[in-house]
Structure 1
């Protein structure tokens, strides 16, 4: 009889870089960074010292739904 692991495992989602989001939105990387700084776009800091920014695709979709420019 097989037993299930005591926790649910999920496959990790690929996070988007600032450059990828800028390409998808057809804007500059600076615009994406401004949206993150203003709190309009949720981002996660990763890497040594938390220098790198990554955006969850769901957060990007929510940002696109709210900001129609």
Structure 2
């Protein structure tokens, strides 16, 4: 929401009042306008972190399943 507030040049508090549909639309526009940045900078970092995140998700799910029994 902070990134959206910066892009639309509004206070963070006013952006938090947006509906979910408005926030998703603005986030999509933010991504589209900055696609080069996301592809060059963010995507490689996400790919590197993917393994670590999947391990954490699997550990969490295993804990939930074992506690249910």
Give the number of the structure whose residues are more often strand, by fraction.
1
Structure 1 and Structure 2 fold alike (TM over 0.5): no
Give the number of the structure whose residues are more often helix, by fraction.
2
What TM-score do the two structures reach when normalised by structure 1? 0.31
What TM-score do the two structures reach when normalised by structure 2? 0.31
